[in-house]
Amino acid sequence: MSVPTAASARTICAPLPVLGRDVTVPLVTGGEVTYAALDYAASAPALQRVWDDVAAYAPYYGSVHRGAGYLSQLSTDLFENARRTVAEFLDCRPDDQLVFTRSTTDSLNLLAAALPADCQVFVFETEHHASLLPWQDARVTYLDAPRTPQAAVRTLERALADRDPHGPALVCVTGASNVTGELWPVRELAAAAHAHGARIVLDAAQLAPHHPVSVRDLDVDWVAFSGHKLYAPFGTGVLAGRADWLRAAEPYLAGGGASRKVSRREDGGVEVQWHESAARHEAGSPNVIGAYAVASACKALTEAGFDGLIARENHLIEKVRTGLAEVPEVRILSLFGDDAPRVGVISFVVDGWNSSHFAAALSAEYGIGVRDGLFCAHPLLRTLLGSDPRSQGECGAPEAAPGEKSLNAIRVSFGAGTPDEHVERFVAAVRELVTDGAKWNYRTEDGRCVPAV
């Protein structure tokens, strides 16, 4: 069966076409400007290719797996082909299992629910909350923030050497930090985990949109990522990797699709036989359009070529870092140092500014969208900002009035759809705000700095 799709990706000059690239927004100072979307680390704009593919499929949409009708069968084929496409994108092993979830957070919570009894989990405090928090029902060891990639490997090796060698163990690590953008030594950490009889799951939410991710080459046991960070809308995530723990676990959700056979018992209850395939953890009607969108994005990035995408992104990173370095009041946050390889995610603070105030001014006066706060990585931000990583903070909310010292930061992030003009306008706006100050007055409303009216 086949469904009309958008034209095959040609050799596209970067930046890749994305939705919203021509959107204009009003400025508080008057007039409008083309919006500069520099918050890719939260949600990347949808690739035009993905949107076109989804629009072409939409009239053929149907329920999957158990429908006899043509559209149901077509949708089933499309859904399962999407699974194969994403598995190829991740270079999965032949016996790996790929489960479609709602997000990276959902994927890691699914794996947490599938941990064997008495499993020990090791996770660095530097993780996003999606990979920091799901393991609390296990025996979890939180590792201090390392200051070099080599220190990360040594820290993990010491922790694993001290663990109970007889029980199962899991290491959870990010591929690229959602705060600093720095790449982590995943292959070396995987080798350390396996040398001590542990498994490893890679949070690739910030890595997969920027660099190729090979399950085999990195030698990780599982990988998780989200479609909405990979230029695909509709709220689908992926968990891919070894099948044994997933097959042995109770279904993440109990319901139709996960069950192979259900019958009444003589005692009045029900007896259930669960699927052993990915369907075991995909109960309910799956997000067919979301899965198709992720697969379309995987194809688009593969066809565009990561070598060219990485080269262009490194060019943008250099523009931003060089521009910010010319403003003495700006301090870029880093764990591993200026020379560490990274993706297009950069966080910084500005002397004399509350980060929420600064971000609000960038938006209201320049039409530039960035993010401020603690980025759902509170322990890491508090380490980078010189505070106790055990302190609590409200995600995204400033803790002081505009102009006062506050424990939060500003994050600029970009990717395959970002034109040079956006990062150039951002650097110029930072320089102007630091030099001349904001042109507008701001006030705090519901924990946010907003333009005063």
User: Is 449 an active-site residue?
Assistant: no
Please identify which of the residues 92, 119, 376, 449 carries the catalytic annotation: 376
How far apart are the C-alpha atoms of 200 and 250, rounded to whole Å?
A: 21
Residue pair 63/284 in contact by the 8 Å Cβ criterion: no
Looking from the CA of 299 toward its CB, the CA atoms found within 13 Å total 21
Helix/strand/coil for 213: coil
Peptide bond into 146 cis (omega under 30): no
How far apart are the C-alpha atoms of 272 and 283, rounded to whole Å?
A: 14
Q: Extract the tokens encoding 92.
A: 């999965």
Q: Extract the tokens encoding 429.
A: 């706006």
**Residue 432, H or E segment:** helix 420-436
Looking from the CA of 208 toward its CB, the CA atoms found within 13 Å total 33
- Number of neighbouring beta carbons within 10 Å of residue 407: 20
- Pure H helices in 305-407: 306-325, 355-366, 378-384
How far apart are the C-alpha atoms of 108 and 297, rounded to whole Å?
A: 21
DSSP-derived pairing of the beta strands 169-174 and 199-203: parallel
Residue pair 220/239 in contact by the 8 Å Cβ criterion: no
Q: Extract the tokens encoding 142.
A: 């939180």
How far is CA 175 from each of CA 184, 185, 201, 343, rounded to the nearest angstrom?
A: 5, 8, 10, 10
Residue pair 270/263 in contact by the 8 Å Cβ criterion: yes
344-383 burial, b if ≥16 CB within 10 A, otherwise e?
Answer: bbbbbbbeebbbbbbbbbbbbbbbbbbbbbbbbbbbbbbb
Q: Which residues participate in catalysis according to the annotation?
A: 376
